[in-house]
Amino acid sequence: MQATQAFIETQGGPEVIDWREVTLGEPGPGQVLVRQTAVGLNYLDTYHRDGTYPVELPSGLGVEAAGEVVAVGPEVHGLRPGDRVATFGPQRDAYASARIVPAASLFKLPANIDDDTAAAALLKACTVEALVERCAKVEAGWPVLVHAAAGGVGLILVQWLKAVGATVIGTVSTEAKEQAARDAGADHVIRYKEEDVAAHVREITDGQGVPVTFDGIGMTTWDVSLKATARRGLIVSYGNAGGPVSGVNLGVLARHGSQFVTRPTLFDYYLDPGERAAGAARVFEMIADGTVAVTVGQRYGLQDAARAHADLEAGRTTGSTLLIP
């Protein structure tokens, strides 16, 4: 089977993304050949591309995709040609029209979850499930701060938090993104370019701050997160869109009220098959019953990945982004 695949030979800007045509053989033991119908774009992909996360070169790109099983290798159970499947990695070769994937990394899609929704949401929604329910363990009635509330993860975070009964305070950059966050259910939306976020959060919470802050931005919002989070509160720093948090003096946490900080990654919460199955089942349930609506804000052709990366990094996207083979 012929396939178009992205690869990088050096790390840098979007221009380092290159393409090649390959011939895929038969899947080996424990492997599945998948024809991909939609590929999810994630900030994680830009970290692999630009060197924020070192990778062995040359490397593929992308971890999230959905498609149809074409063939299965020996020792594969529970999947057959024609099944619809999705994955969020950890293999970094999702930017492709077809590929051979370890069967253990695939989730069989239920009939009520279409391919575009799966590719747009699986990594992001599983991330949210892990952050809210396993990491921060948010409880009903808590006020919670969500940075970048109109992003792909942010919109799902807002909806998930509302479903568990939290009061959601979101930050956004533009009027359009403010509306998107409000449509997702945010109770308060702060435009961070125009307002003092920490002061506004303190005002909303009667001076207490929030018990949990979800910060997918990183260094540029670190100080705001410290100031907005309550005494003994938790900062969940899960992304680096504004640069990685570095050079942290742990005494800062004491000065802001004996705060806690964690830097979680999804794969530590989806480590074994039982965790993966339970998390994905919860995600599919939340999407299928309408609790979480997935917003696909933009679609690009597969080989327009460089332009999609540039738009994502410039803040020109809303919700999830798909690359279509």
CA distances from 118 to 38, 66, 112, 278 (A): 9, 6, 10, 16
Alpha carbon 88 to chain centroid, angstroms: 9
Whether 179 and 251 map to the same domain: the answer is yes
Mean pLDDT within 299-323: 96
Is residue 280 one of the residues assigned to a domain? Answer: no
One domain for residues 159 and 218: yes
Conformational region of residue 117, where left means phi above 0, alpha means psi within -120 to 50, and beta covers everything else: alpha
Question: What's the mean pLDDT in 189-212?
Answer: 97
- Over residues 65-86, the mean pLDDT reads 98
Three-state DSSP state, 320: strand
**What's the DSSP call for residue 253?**
H
pLDDT tens per residue, range 115-142: 999 999 999 999 999 999 999 999 999 9
Q: Is-contact 146 222, C-beta < 8 A?
A: no
Regarding whether 179 and 67 lie in a shared domain, the answer is no
Contact between residue 185 and residue 159 where contact means Cβ atoms under 8 Å apart: yes
Which tens digits make up the pLDDT trace of 213-245? 999 999 999 999 999 999 999 999 999 888 889
For residues 145-154, average pLDDT: 96
* pLDDT of the residue at 312: 95
Same domain, 48 and 95: yes
Closest C-alpha among 223, 254, 257 to residue 237: 223
**Token output for 308:** 């999609």
Q: Is residue 7 assigned to a domain?
A: yes
DSSP state of 59: B
Residue 67 pLDDT > 90, yes or no?
yes
What's the CA gap between 177 and 51, in Å, rounded?
29
Structure tokens given for 204: 């909303």
CATH of the domain at 202: 3.40.50.720
Tell me what pLDDT residue 5 has: 98
Residues 252 and 299 in one domain: no
Same domain, 300 and 233: no
d(CA 5, CA 65): 13
Residue 146 has pLDDT above 90, yes or no: yes
| 79 plus 47 within the same structural domain | yes
The average confidence (pLDDT) of the chain is 96
Q: Residue 14 burial (CB < 10 Å; 0-12/13-18/19+)? A: middle
Mean pLDDT of 59-64: 98
22/117 same-domain check: yes
Q: What's the domain range around 90?
A: 2-122+294-324
- pLDDT, tens digit, for every residue of 266-287? 999 999 989 999 999 999 999 9
286 lies in some domain:
no
Q: What is the pTM assigned to this prediction?
A: 0.92
Regarding whether 57 and 8 lie in a shared domain, the answer is: yes
**Residue 17, Cβ neighbours under 10 Å: how many?**
21
Q: What percent of the chain has pLDDT over 90?
A: 95
Q: How many domains does the chain have?
A: 2
| pLDDT of 248 strictly over 90 | no
Q: Would you say residue 284 lies in a domain?
A: no
Domain match, 117 and 144 both: no
Residues in the chain: 325
Q: Give the pLDDT of residue 226.
A: 98
